[in-house]
């Protein structure tokens, strides 16, 4: 990791360009910000959020970078309904959502009635939270990139793309980038906004 350090006339100390904040920062200030970011609780929003797990900040503070789960996800949030749950399954789905999915798969609920699932695929998270948990599940294909390693991952049973991304984030310990071709037909000009035609 190569960092370009500079000095400023009449101002003591070394400075560098921080890509996360898009600003020139003093090395000593970077170290202070990194140390302060270690006190942020998981799931809490803070102005120093970008400093969490920063390798450059750790270097300036003279510490080893903390290996954290990507996205700093709250531990008790269901990836499907986005509600608090005391118990999550290994895929990050709460027991209630899992039971509703099993009912849809069987074609009947505990009362013997046919469930009527909702379609969450094109919904935003704020439209989902607190709504019914009986939903259709779809296979979602995502492209992920870690460093120079590009992988195609398929989540077989996700209610929407956000759920698929959150499920992958729960398992990853390094920085990850997502890419996905849109699932809707768009013209060539619009397609270029999504990374071009392949």
pLDDT digits (tens, 9 = 90+) for 29-69: 999 998 888 777 655 667 887 887 788 998 999 987 765 54
Q: Do residues 105 and 177 both lie within one domain?
A: yes
For residue 55, what are its two tokens? Answer: 């390798």
pLDDT digits (tens, 9 = 90+) for 124-135: 555 555 556 677
For residue 83, what are its two tokens? Answer: 């509600």
Q: Do residues 45 and 124 both lie within one domain?
A: no
CA distance 155 to 167: 8
CA distance 187 to 19: 34
pLDDT digits (tens, 9 = 90+) for 161-197: 888 888 888 777 677 888 755 544 444 444 444 444 4
Contacts 24+ apart (CB under 8 A), 9-16: 16/56
Q: Do residues 103 and 188 both lie within one domain?
A: yes
Domain that holds residue 120: 95-194
CA distance 11 to 25: 12
pTM of the model: 0.52
How many domains does the structure of the chain reveal? Answer: 2
Confidence grade of residue 11 (pLDDT, cut at 50, 70, 90) = confident
Q: Do residues 109 and 144 both lie within one domain?
A: yes
| DSSP 8-state code for residue 10 | T
Q: Do residues 62 and 99 both lie within one domain?
A: no
The β-bridge relationship of strands 149-158 and 177-179 is unpaired
């Amino acid at each position: 990791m190569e960092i370009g350090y500079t000095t400023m006339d009449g101002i003591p100390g070394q400075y560098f360009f921080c890509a996360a904040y898009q600003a020139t920062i003093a090395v000593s200030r970077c170290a202070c910000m990194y140390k302060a970011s270690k006190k942020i609780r998981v799931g809490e929003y803070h102005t120093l959020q970008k400093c969490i797990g920063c390798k450059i900040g750790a270097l300036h503070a003279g510490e080893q970078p903390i290996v954290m789960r990507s996205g700093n996800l709250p531990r008790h949030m269901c990836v499907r309904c986005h509600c608090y749950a005391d118990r999550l399954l290994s895929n990050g789905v709460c027991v209630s959502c899992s039971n509703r999915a099993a009912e849809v798969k069987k074609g009947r609920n505990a009362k013997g009635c046919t469930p009527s699932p909702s379609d969450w695929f094109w919904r935003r998270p704020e439209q989902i939270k607190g709504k019914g948990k009986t939903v259709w599940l779809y296979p979602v294909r995502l492209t992920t990139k870690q460093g120079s390693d590009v992988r195609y991952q398929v989540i077989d049973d996700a209610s929407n793309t956000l759920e698929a991304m959150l499920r992958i984030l729960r398992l990853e310990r390094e920085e990850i980038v997502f890419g996905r071709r849109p699932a809707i037909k768009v013209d060539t000009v619009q397609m270029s906004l999504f990374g071009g035609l392949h």
